[in-house]
Chains A and B, each alone.
Chain A
Amino acid sequence: MADTLHALTPLGRPDPVSRDIGPYRIVERFDVALASVACRRGRHKDFAKAAKGMVPLPDPAHSAQGAPYSSFWVAPDMWFVEAPFATHEDIASELKQLFGDSASVTEQTDGWVRFDLQAHDLAPLLERLCNVDFPQVADGFASRTLIEHIGCYLIRRGPGEGTLYGPRSSAKSLLHVLETAAASVI
C-alpha cells in the first residue's frame, strides 16, 4: 500500500519538471531536504563546536558545499542547511540532535520550491529578473532577492549555474516568470 503513495512536487505534479528555453535550462529539484538553523543568543561557542566538521557555516552572503550538509547564510547567526532528501528526509531532527539547545532548528523542506538554472551565461536572464549583479559576485554568493514580487534566495554556483529557492506557494508563478524572462532573452 505504502509504495503507491507519492508526495506531489510544489508544482502539484508527481515528478519535478525541467524546461529548455534557448540556451537556458530550468530544472526543478525535488531531492533536497532543507532546514534553517539559528544560533541562540550567547551560545556561539557551543554552536560553532557542534557544527565543526559537520555543517559548514559560511560568511554573510555566502554558501558552502559539503557532504552530506551544504549551507547558505540567510541572516546574522542563521543559515539554511541542505542535504540529499533520500538519506536525510528527517534533516530537522538530525540537526537538532547535532546542535542541541545551542540552536533553533526549523524544518523548511516543504516550504520552498527549488529551481536550478543552467546556461553558458546566466547574466542576461538574471539581470532582467532581480537586482543581484550576477556577473560581479563571486561563486558561492548567496542572497535573498526579489523576483516579480516574490522573495527568493539566489545562490551562484558558477557564471552559468545558479540555484533559486522561492516560496512553495508561489512555485507556478516563479516558474512562469523564469520561462517568460528566458523566452524574452533569446
Chain B
Amino acid sequence: MIINHPILGPRDAQEFVYLGDASLMNRPDGMSDGIEAFHDYLYNRDNPAGAHRELWYHEQGDRSWLVVTRNTVTHEILKVELARDVASKAGRGK
C-alpha cells in the first residue's frame, strides 16, 4: 500500500504506524462535557465498510501525523492530509 504524503509524495505504508480512527483528535473535555461523551470517545468506534478517516504516523519519515481517508473495502486511499492542517482548520491550536 502506498500513502501519498502531502509533503513528501508517495511513500511505502511500511514507513507509517497506524493509530486508529481520526475522531481520536476530537477529545471531549472530561471535566465539562460529561462522562457519556468521554465514554463514547474512549470506547465507541464506527466500523464502516467504505470510507474511513484514520490517523497514521510517518515514523520512518518526517514524523508527521496524517489523516488518511481510506476505503476499508478496497484499501483505496482517497485523501491524505496533515493532521495539523485538519486541526487548525477546525479552529484548534490557537
Residues of A whose CB lies within 8 Å of any CB of B are 41, 60-61, 73-76, 131, 143-146, 151
B12 touches A131 (CB 8 A): yes
A146 touches B62 (CB 8 A): no
Residues of B whose CB lies within 8 Å of any CB of A are 7-8, 12, 14-15, 59-64, 82, 84, 93
Closest residue to B60 on the A side, CB-wise? A146
A74 touches B62 (CB 8 A): yes
Q: Given A41-B93, A60-B8, are A146 and B15 also a contact pair (CB < 8 Å)?
A: yes
19 CB contacts below 8 A, A to B, read A41-B93, A61-B7, A73-B62, A74-B63, A75-B62, A75-B63, A76-B62, A76-B64, A76-B82, A131-B12, A131-B15, A143-B8, A144-B60, A144-B61, A144-B62, A145-B15, A146-B60, A151-B59, A151-B60
B25 to chain A, nearest CB (A): 17
Residues of chain A lying within 8 A (CB to CB) of residue B7: 60-61, 76
B12 touches A75 (CB 8 A): no
Q: CA A144 – CA B11 in complex, angstroms?
A: 12
Residues of chain A lying within 8 A (CB to CB) of residue B93: 41
Residues of chain B lying within 8 A (CB to CB) of residue A76: 7, 62, 64, 82, 84
Q: Main SS of chain B's interface residues?
A: loop
Residues of chain A lying within 8 A (CB to CB) of residue B8: 60-61, 143
Closest residue to B88 on the A side, CB-wise? A41
B82 touches A143 (CB 8 A): no
Residues of chain A lying within 8 A (CB to CB) of residue B64: 75-76
Residues of chain A lying within 8 A (CB to CB) of residue B63: 74-75, 144
Residues of chain B lying within 8 A (CB to CB) of residue A75: 62-64
Residues of chain A lying within 8 A (CB to CB) of residue B12: 131
Q: CA A131 – CA B60 in complex, angstroms?
A: 11
Closest residue to B84 on the A side, CB-wise? A76
Q: CA A145 – CA B84 in complex, angstroms?
A: 22
Q: CA A173 – CA B18 in complex, angstroms?
A: 27
Closest 3 CB pairs of A and B: A75-B62, A146-B60, A60-B7
Closest residue to B82 on the A side, CB-wise? A76
Residues of chain A lying within 8 A (CB to CB) of residue B60: 144-146, 151
Closest residue to B11 on the A side, CB-wise? A131
Closest residue to A61 on the B side, CB-wise? B8
B15 touches A60 (CB 8 A): no
Q: CA A41 – CA B15 in complex, angstroms?
A: 26
Closest residue to B12 on the A side, CB-wise? A131
Q: CA A146 – CA B59 in complex, angstroms?
A: 10
Residues of chain B lying within 8 A (CB to CB) of residue A41: 93
A16 to chain B, nearest CB (A): 27
